[in-house]
Amino acid sequence: MDSFRDLFEQVLLLCKSDDTIADVTYNLFFDDLEPVDFSNDTAILQTTSDFKQGILAGKYADLLQKNFEKLLGFPVQVEIKVKNQKEETSAFPSVTPGKNEEYTFDTFVVGAENKFAYAACQRVAKDPGTIYNPLFIYGRSGLGKTHLLMATQNEIRKNNPDANILYTTSENFTNDMVSFLAQKNMEEFHNKYRTVDVLLIDDVQFLQNKMGFQEEFFHTFNALTQVGKQVILTSDRPPREIDTLTDRLRNRFESGLLADIQPPDIETRMAIVKKKAQQFQMELSPQIVEYVAEKLKNNIRQLEGAVKKIFAMSSLTGNAPTIDMAEEAIRDVQTDNMPVGVKTEKIIEYIANFYGITPADITSNKKNANIALARQVTVYVLREITGQTLQMIGEAIGGKNHSTINYSISLVEKKMRNEPSFKNTVFEIINNLQE
């Protein structure tokens, strides 16, 4: 063996041949495990998510350690980390998650609330550039917009392997533009974005309105659609509600087909739970399926997250899934079922703890920078999760007026556009409150 990677490949072979590990378990948890470093008798490995890291560290670290020691002949410690995705981004980032086989039309659960968007994507995938161009899909976070975007990309690629398809986000588009501008090489930027057959842009609500970003996107959009190339966009709201868009870009977005996705009904939610369990080759009783679907009503990621947690608990204990496991899995995922007043208090308390202050600080008039930021984030999160009016949110935040609440939301949206790490923090807060 000439390297740590060679050694690790031998360790994986031993793990795969172990009778205690089923093929589905190996494929799910070991396939994307990668070697990072070996020093001081410690093997450092990395995986792709906190979920997988928890399972590997909790249940399979001993097996990995045993197999390292079997090959090396001396005691070895195993440390498992989560891959730092920032290290993977290039100078000109362009995310392409669509190769994930999970994102297909077959794995998308269709219900009354998403069937129009689903049908539109299927039609576009069948004959891109000829109908519904642009296709603009909108809906709140966690309802399957990115899944549909990726499924469309995968279907187009399956039908035409030579198609030049580019998936990116509005954030990456602006980052690319800054990078190419700095290099005084906008010709390469244009070649990247204006010569594709299909352009898919996620989270277009974050498209910045400065330094000519929207102007550049406007010309990119025209360059593609005028020659019959397909453009598909997603957003958390329809174009008319994206305040930062210029009128002519908003008009371009509205010139095609607008398709919204609403929260799933109970039948769709139950189907999602069943399908996700099938992906883990896990059988859930009808009682568990109905319980999870009834408790989690507004976010598909919540449903999938609950199933993952049940699978993790079942795998770690070696027991079949139970209602008790389901209850534990969604104990912190019940925010959406609370009365608005209780939900508001929970959100304020969570964000206060997150920023190391008190709920009273958030509802006060204190000007401390950390408190002010926490208050602004609270306003934004309350709007996203509770759906309350600005006046209602203002009353919950110490009697602030409508304009103050609107200004706070604008500040948070601007900071999210300019600072990817801050945007990730806000999304993390929202996801944690909904999971």
CATH number at residue 373: 1.10.1750.10
Q: How far apart are CA 395 and CA 390, in angstroms?
A: 9
Pick from 199, 234, 260: which residue ends a domain? 260
- Supply the CATH number for residue 31's domain: 3.30.300.180
Q: Which distant-in-sequence residues (6+ apart) come within 8 Å of 184 by Cβ?
A: none
Instruction: For residue 70, give both structure tokens.
Output: 């079997």
pLDDT at 435: 52
Note the pLDDT of residue 344: 86
Q: Are residues 63 and 101 in the same domain?
A: no
Q: Verify that 225 and 350 share a domain, yes or no.
A: no
Instruction: Provide the pLDDT for residue 336.
Output: 44
Q: Are residues 345 and 217 in the same domain?
A: no
pLDDT value, residue 28: 77
Q: Is 279 exposed, middle or buried (0-12, 13-18, 19+ CB in 10 A)?
A: middle
Bridge partners (DSSP) of residue 80 are 45
The answer to whether residues 255 and 270 belong to one domain is no
Which residues of the chain carry a pLDDT beneath 50?
A: 1-2, 85-100, 335-338
Report yes or no on 92 lying in a domain. Answer: no
Number of domains in the chain: 4
Q: Does residue 91 belong to any structural domain of this protein?
A: no
Give 298-320 pLDDT, tens digit per residue: 778 788 888 888 888 888 778 88
In this prediction, residue 333 carries a pLDDT of: 56
Instruction: Based on the fold, state whether residues 218 and 101 are members of the same structural domain.
Output: yes
Q: Are residues 179 and 146 part of one domain?
A: yes
Provide the pLDDT for residue 335. Answer: 46
Give residue 99's pLDDT. Answer: 45
User: Is residue 369 situated within a structural domain?
Assistant: yes
> Do residues 276 and 350 share a domain?
no
Q: What is the pLDDT of residues 219-263, one digit of tens each?
A: 999 999 999 999 999 998 888 888 778 888 899 999 999 999 988
Judgement on whether residues 344 and 403 belong to the same structural domain of the protein: yes
Q: What is the pLDDT of residue 48?
A: 82
Residues 120 and 225 in one domain: yes
| Structural domain for 293, as ranges | 266-332
Long-range interactions of 383-389: CB distance < 8 A, separation 24+: 383/409, 384/140, 384/141, 384/430, 385/335, 385/336, 385/343, 385/347, 385/430, 385/433, 385/434, 386/340, 386/343, 386/344, 386/347, 388/340, 388/344
Tell me the average pLDDT of the chain: 83
In a domain, 209, yes or no: yes
**Residue 148: predicted pLDDT:** 93
Q: Could you tell me the CATH number of the domain that includes residue 256?
A: 3.40.50.300
* Co-location of 131 and 111 in the same domain: yes
Last-in-domain residue among 222, 240, 260: 260
Strand 135-138 relative to strand 230-235, pairing: parallel
Is 147 among the domain residues?
A: yes
Position 182 in a domain = yes
pLDDT at res. 434: 61
CATH number at residue 312: 1.10.8.60
* Residues 42 and 20 placed together within one structural domain of the fold: yes
| Residue 372 within a domain | yes
The pLDDT of residue 116: 93
Q: How far apart (Å, rounded) are the C-alpha atoms in residues 41 and 20? A: 26
The domain boundary residue, chosen from 260, 290, 307: 260
Is the residue at 120 inside a domain? yes
Give whole-number Cα distances, 320 to 183, 281, 317, 362, 365, in Å.
57, 12, 9, 44, 52
| pTM score of the predicted model | 0.58
Q: What is the CA radius of gyration of the chain?
A: 24
Same domain, 325 and 413: no
Q: What is the pLDDT of residue 387?
A: 65
